[in-house]
Amino acid sequence: MASEASVRLGTPPDRLWIQKPGIYEDEEGRTWVTVVVRFNPSHREWARASQGSTYEPSITVHLWQMAVHTREPLFSSQMPFSQLPPVWQLYPGRKYRAADSSFWEIVDHGQIDSMEQLVLTYQPERKD
Q: Which domains does the chain have, with CATH numbers?
A: 15-122 (2.40.15.10)
Contact present, 60 and 120 (Cβ < 8 Å): yes
- In tens, the pLDDT along 5-23 reads 566 677 899 999 999 888 9
Whether 60 contacts 82, CB under 8 Å:
no
Radius of gyration (C-alpha) of the chain in whole angstroms: 15
Q: Are 58 and 123 in contact (CB under 8 A)?
A: yes
Q: Which neighbouring-strand residues pair with 90?
A: 96
pLDDT for the residue 1: 42
CB 33 within 8 A of CB 69: no
**Residues of the chain under the 70 pLDDT cut:** 1-8, 42-55, 70-81, 126-128
3-state SS assignment for residue 67: coil
**C-alpha span between 98 and 81 (Å, rounded):** 14
